[in-house]
Structure formats: C-alpha cells, structure tokens
Structure 1
C-alpha cells in the first residue's frame, strides 16, 4: 500500500454502504467548517472566496475524470471502440436532468447571494433561494460520492479506494465556500451566529443520505455502473461550469480565481495518480 495506508486502513473492513455514509458525513463537515466562520466575522474578502471556490472547482474538474470518467471507460471494455458511450450517455442524461432542475426551480448562483434569482419567478426571500440552490446541488454531489464508493465494492472495479477518498476530499473542500455563502448573508441580515451556522451547514445534510442511495445503486449491477459514473461526473462538471467558473470570473478577481482553479486541478491530478 502507499503512504495513504494509515487512512485507508480505517475503511478497508467497512462495507461500501458504510464507506459512502462516512464519506457523506465528511463532505457535510466541509459545509459545517465553512459556516463556522460566522462565529468570528460577518464578512469574508471576495478575493479569498474566489480563490477558495476556484480551487475547489479545479479539484472537482480533476476528480470528475480520474475518479469517475476514466474508471467508467475502463469498465466499458465490452463495448470495444464504443467504450466511451456509457460514460458519455451518463453525462448527457445528468446534464439534461440538472438543466431541467435549474429551469423548474428558482435559484441563486453562487457565491453571490445579493443577485436576483434565476429561473421561474418566486416570492421566496433571496436567502431562502440560496439555501435551496445549494441543497439541490448537494444531492447530485452526494450521489456522485456514493457511486464512487459503491463502485469500489464491485468485483474487478477499476475504482480504487484512494481515488474515492480523493473525491471525498474534493467535495468536502468545495463545500467550504458553500457553507460560507449561506451562513454569512444570514449573519449580515441580523441572524444570530449560532442560527446562521445551523442553517449554513444544514444545506449539506442531504449528502450522507444521497451518498448511501448512490452506493446502493452502484452495487445493483455492474452493467449500469459506467452510466451511473458518467451521471455522477456530470454533476461535478455541471456545477463547475454553470456555477463556479462564472461566479469566480465575474467578481473582479479573475486571475486569482483562475490560479485557484489550476492549482486545485493539479493537486487533485497528482493525488489521483500517485495514490493509484
């Protein structure tokens, strides 16, 4: 085993469902850690938020390939020269699903809660829409996490436990600015620090449940696994392209945000390759 042996040893004897649930709790803790900033301040510099969110976006981009798409293609050798098809079909289905969700439900793009809601008209408050938006996008992230850990429980799966843990860390890190993006506006509106923290971290409470559902689905049959992994990858790609990159580039610090994206991508790539 690699240098990750002390970490991996805690997970080796667990079932895929147990690993997925634990991973969902870890990713949830990222939102809790981000939301805890309200105990120290009501504001965070936008440049810092852009860099952190960009870094998280880069991590998710790399994880979508090395933890999801590449293993999905390796699982599709029976398709011959069409082995790209299951992952591609999963991406298209996932993208269509997320697009429909965005069109049906009002939302706020992250991490700028002061903007007007997008999608259909709504009488909900902006903070309510922000919580709703992040909660909805945490569901496919939790599913992606569960699918990766569930895939590792299949016989002859190319998904390593180290890659799954890498994805878990990437999503947890991505949840840091999300927790801030919910808790800080609530604190500025006059909510108490404790109440702002509770609602800030609550948006990621769906991830452990979604992770268990994703793991259970991945364990059902090997034939659908590449499609499920493509679907999970679409969640990562969609959030980064639709939300993370536009917001980090529009807040006045495009160079710093871009450097964050590149550093996050390089770090996740290095970890994914070195821990195989």
Structure 2
C-alpha cells in the first residue's frame, strides 16, 4: 500500500497527458524486459508460455470491466447520460475497430504456420508478422491507459488517479510474456539475440503513441469520455477472444492456459478492487 501510495503521489504533479505517457512508457519497458530474456534463453517451455498468455488474457478481461466499463457507466451517470448507452455503443465500436484492423493489418499469431497469416496478403517474412500480431494486442492497451489518465482532467465520478495507475501496472505485468513471446521464437528461428530483443521490444512502441492519443482525445472532447473507456474495453476483449485465448490453447495446453487466465483475472481484480 505504501509503494502504491508513493507512486500515486508522484503522478499527481503531472498533467494527464504526461501521466498517460509515463504510464505507457512503463508498460513498454516491461515488454522490453520480457524481450530481454532472449539474452539468457533460446527457448521457453511451451506450457509456461501458454500459461503466460492465459495470464495476460485474464488480466485484460478483469481490466476491461473494473478499470474501463464500470467507470464508463459511473461517468455516464455523473454526466447526466443514460448509463448503459455509452458502455454498449463504445464497447461494440471498440470491437469493430479491432476487427477492421485485424482484417487489414498483416500478422501471424504465435505458434501458427506462415500459411495461417491474417490480414491482407503480403510477402513479409514470419518475424515481421509475429511482431505485428503483438503490436495489434498493444493498441487497445495503450488507448485504455491513455483514456484512464485523460479522464483525470475532469472531476467526475469513476475517474481516479489510483485506478489509472493500477490499470497501467496490471497491463505492464501482462506485457512481460508478450515481449517474451516475440523475442524467444525469433531467436529459435535463427535471429541473433540482439535482433530478437529489438523486435520483441519494438512491439510495445505503439502503447505510448496510443496512450497519448487517447489522453489527448478525452481531454479535448469531454463528452466522449465514457464512450472512449468502453471503446478501449471492447478492443481489449476482442484481442482476448480473437487472439490471446486461441494462441494459448493452440498447442493443446488448455488446462494450463485456463489456470493462467484465472490467476491473471484474480490478480488484476485484486489490484483494482483493493488498491484502486
């Protein structure tokens, strides 16, 4: 509690957009930390990796409700709007947005053969497609953090600095296996440790960009705030259902991945309810 309080106090002296930038730079840093494990290991046990992917899915599901949808409903009520409308419209719009990107952006899910690449057809090699798949995961995560911090520009129910910090912390925790899941497979395919690390951390670069965009959008246009929170939640749930859960169970480690998801959900829920 003391550590969490000290972090929150430090954030109080920053503008919301700067807070969003710092929060997403942290999550990018955790992605790089996971990618750095390639300097020590050439491979990771498949069950361990699937458990990590399941954990990431659990964190994102819990964050989508406690850190995004629930505050969106509270904010809509506080702003005199019909509470369920922004949550529903924003949630579905976020899913539709990621669905569109998923159909356009060339990418390849972890563990899948090259012929199963999604998006528009391209001659890009497997390594680039793997990086783009994780980058796709990170867009809604960056938006979520940015919107959560941007909401602090207004004194309305549902927006809290501690909640935004906890969201960044939770997403940072689940970013660790994402960096690892890119760098280690690249190393196994013959890339040098340095190149594998570079591509692994590169997948997290989009988070600070999306975070700042999300924060600026809600700071400039207050009425869209509950919609923006729900939008980020919908985008995150799309990623979980479309990519993280199938990837974690592709190699028939269903029980391991499910236990990881349950633990991830419990950890994020505890962080948000106990400290948020």
Gaps of 5+ in 2: none
Within 1, Cα distance between the matches of 2:59 and 2:189? 32
Structure 1 residue 150 displacement after superposition: 0.7
Within 2, Cα distance between the matches of 1:113 and 1:188? 14
Does the 8 Å contact 2:97/2:235 carry over to 1?
no
Structure 1 residue 35 displacement after superposition: 0.7
Matches within 5 A, 1:216-231: 216-231=216-231
CA RMSD, aligned part only?
1.9
Offset from partner CA, 1:28-48 (integer Å, 9 cap, x none): 012101111110111000111
Tell me the secondary structure at the aligned position of residue 123 of structure 1.
coil
Tell me the secondary structure at the aligned position of residue 156 of structure 1.
coil
Structure 1 residue 261 displacement after superposition: 0.7
- Number of the residue aligned with 1:121: 121
Structure 1 residue 221 displacement after superposition: 2.9
Tell me the secondary structure at the aligned position of residue 12 of structure 2.
coil
Does the 8 Å contact 1:147/1:228 carry over to 2?
yes
Does the 8 Å contact 1:147/1:211 carry over to 2?
yes
Within 2, Cα distance between the matches of 1:250 and 1:182? 16
Q: Which runs of 4+ in 1 moved over 4 A?
A: 78-81
Structure 1 residue 142 displacement after superposition: 1.0
Structure 1 residue 76 displacement after superposition: 1.2
- Number of the residue aligned with 1:242: 242
- Number of the residue aligned with 2:21: 21
Structure 1 residue 59 displacement after superposition: 1.0
Within 1, Cα distance between the matches of 2:159 and 2:81? 21
Segment of structure 1 superposing worse, 126-135 or 11-20 = 126-135
Aligned length: 275
- Number of the residue aligned with 1:107: 107
- Number of the residue aligned with 2:135: 135
Task: Give the number of the structure whose residues are more often helix, by fraction.
Answer: 2
Does the 8 Å contact 2:78/2:156 carry over to 1?
no
Does the 8 Å contact 1:2/1:275 carry over to 2?
no
Structure 1 residue 270 displacement after superposition: 1.6
Within 1, Cα distance between the matches of 2:216 and 2:79? 24
- With normalisation by structure 2, the TM-score equals 0.93
Offset from partner CA, 1:112-167 (integer Å, 9 cap, x none): 25452123322111111111222233223211110011112322241222221221
Does the 8 Å contact 2:144/2:214 carry over to 1?
yes
Within 2, Cα distance between the matches of 1:24 and 1:122? 30
Within 2, Cα distance between the matches of 1:225 and 1:11? 20
